[in-house]
Structure 1
Amino acid sequence: MFILRSRRELLTGTGIGVISAFMYSLAPLLIIFLDTRALNSFILATVQEFVSWILVVCLTNKPLKFLKQIWKNTKSMLGMIVIIAGIFGGPIAQVLYILSIQLAAQMSATATVLVNIAPIFTTLLSRLLLEERLSFIAWVGLLLTSLAVIGLELFDKLLLSLIKQY
């Protein structure tokens, strides 16, 4: 179990998370300016994932030790599971995300809402696979998030049908 060491760490982590969410939200907006060919989607997703990996390595205290540890961990079963999860959660998910934006007729807001329901799946999978105990607040948050996403999608469909009528 992870134990938070200080209030400063909590605030730093929260701030970095907000900045990350803002930066991540720029990708669907920038995709609109790309050609709609699939190749551009794959290139964008590859560059995005590669730059992320380079930044993680550079931001560690000891990059060479970090890379050596990664190489060592790839030789274990747990390391292979992490690599497989990383492939599905990283490049493949990113390519599908970008393609969903392009195929949804440039409706990046709708695709972003759908992609960002990932915490719902993460919470449910951690409960099922890791047998993580969820607090009452976590269950309430999960329920409210699910209802909000469903409500946004229904409202979007209703609004589109009303616009088409006029």
Structure 2
Amino acid sequence: MEKHFLIKGGIKMAEISAINNFKKYNSGSGRSSINNVVREAFRELEKFKNNVNQELTQFNKILDKNLSVLEQQYYDTEVDSRSRDVVSVVSQVQTGNFEARNGVDLTYILSLEKWEQYYKENLEFLNKKFGKNARCVYAVIHFDESTPHLQSMWTFSEENNQK
């Protein structure tokens, strides 16, 4: 999924695009991994594998938090052992060589409000693309790593209409 955009102020950046990285889990066998991803998203772990600047964690923005969706997936959904019914998504802006060529850190081109607006639109885009069987567990903008990004998690299930 790629979406090119234009930053207001006339800077056209064709080499900058939004990239969504997906990781899929099984809600039956992958609960421990899923729970660790959730704890990482909300900065509830003691150690992080990423370069988290805890001085900036206060600026992280929760756009959606509905952990009961995940609990429902765990306990109320029948899942085949081969199924991947929980997906985590990291949406970030890929800068290509823009920063090196222009000597500008993209993080500071947009205000916190503009980053939030951009990632709210990205969240709406994901919601539409995933469709009616997807439910958002959480969506958090991380400002405390090298580049602002949106981390979200989704569950997928269909109503069983068999009698």
Higher Cα Rg, which structure: 1
Higher relative contact order at CA 8 Å, sep ≥6: structure 1 or structure 2? 2
The TM-score with structure 2 as length reference comes to 0.31
The TM-score with structure 1 as length reference comes to 0.30
Structure number having the greater helix percentage: 1
